[in-house]
């Protein structure tokens, strides 16, 4: 692929709310989308977590290297999208977290990341939802888009 391949979507419903204390951040967003019949969306989250699981993709080995941080962390930034995998809404998100000393860590967001307090701003996108599928070039689950 040597150019941007994309699709146009229109804004659907717009949700702003609090995520449940003590629950997993990833699962909470996916469960909300499933219950609200959301198949495509973008979102941002602010707040704090009591522990986080993050990762980075090792491009040579084509696997995620993950680590868990067990401490109170402020969500400096968390953005992501919702699309379909096996007909279910799944999130793809990246997060930057700050600790009490002002040091930051970041990466791909994974479960188990435990919410302390978090607010979400979620914009549904209407149109034919994008689906994720295995990409032979990268080894990642990417949007199925024809070249």
Task: Check pLDDT > 60 for residue 1.
Answer: no
The predicted structure's pLDDT at residue 147: 57
The predicted structure's pLDDT at residue 6: 83
The predicted structure's pLDDT at residue 145: 82
pLDDT in tens, 86-139: 999 999 999 999 999 999 999 999 999 999 999 999 999 999 999 999 999 999
Please, which residues have CB within 8 angstroms of residue 102's CB and are 6 or more apart in sequence?
none
Are the C-beta atoms of residues 88 and 20 closer than 8 Å to each other? Answer: no
Q: Which of 22-36, 68-82, 132-146 has the lowest mean pLDDT?
A: 132-146
Prediction pTM value: 0.93
Are the C-beta atoms of residues 118 and 70 closer than 8 Å to each other? Answer: no
Element (H, E) at 27: helix 25-35
Domains in the chain (CATH in brackets) are: 13-143 (3.30.1330.80)
């Amino acid at each position: 692929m040597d150019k941007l391949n994309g699709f146009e979507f229109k804004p659907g419903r717009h949700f702003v709310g609090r995520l449940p204390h003590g629950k997993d951040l990833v699962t909470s967003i996916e469960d909300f989308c499933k219950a609200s019949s959301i198949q495509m969306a973008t979102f941002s989250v602010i707040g704090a977590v009591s522990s986080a699981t993050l990762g980075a993709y090792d491009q040579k080995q084509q696997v995620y290297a993950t680590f868990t941080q067990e401490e109170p962390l402020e969500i400096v930034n968390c953005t992501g999208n919702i699309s379909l995998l096996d007909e279910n809404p799944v999130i793809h998100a990246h997060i930057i977290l700050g600790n009490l000393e002002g040091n930051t860590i970041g990466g791909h967001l994974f479960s188990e990341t435990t919410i302390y307090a978090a607010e979400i701003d979620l914009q549904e996108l209407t149109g034919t939802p994008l689906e994720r599928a295995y990409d032979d070039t990268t080894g990642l689950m990417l949007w199925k888009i024809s070249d």
